[in-house]
Amino acid sequence: MDIKPINAAQNYAAARPATEPNAGQGDVGGAAKGLARDFAATLQDAEVTAKAAMSGEADPHALVQALAQTELAVETAVTVRDKVVEAYQEILRMPV
């Protein structure tokens, strides 16, 4: 196998953009806002489906599916909250 320095440099230059951070992905606040909006929308959809099921306008399958999605969303939110609290407590334990 013949590896020349110029080929190695060209291959490195071609692969370099794949390892650089993307400027659009650094917006943590916007991502968190979008997740909160999605979470609220999931809860609202489940509430609408539950009200429709109580009045007989929705089938039980749709209600069960909406409740399962809501349960998953709440469990995910609780897990994220626990991780954030754990990270905060770890920061508090750090020596200054």
Spatial neighbors of 52 by CB under 8 A, at least 6 apart, are 58, 62
pLDDT of residue 1: 52
| Mean pLDDT, the chain, integer | 83
pLDDT of residue 27: 72
Query: In angstroms, what CA-CA distances link 96 with 20, 86, 90, 92, 93?
Result: 32, 18, 13, 9, 9
Q: Is the pLDDT of residue 43 over 70?
A: yes
pLDDT of residue 54: 92
User: Could you tell me the pTM of the whole model?
Assistant: 0.62
Residue ranges covered by each domain of the chain:
26-93
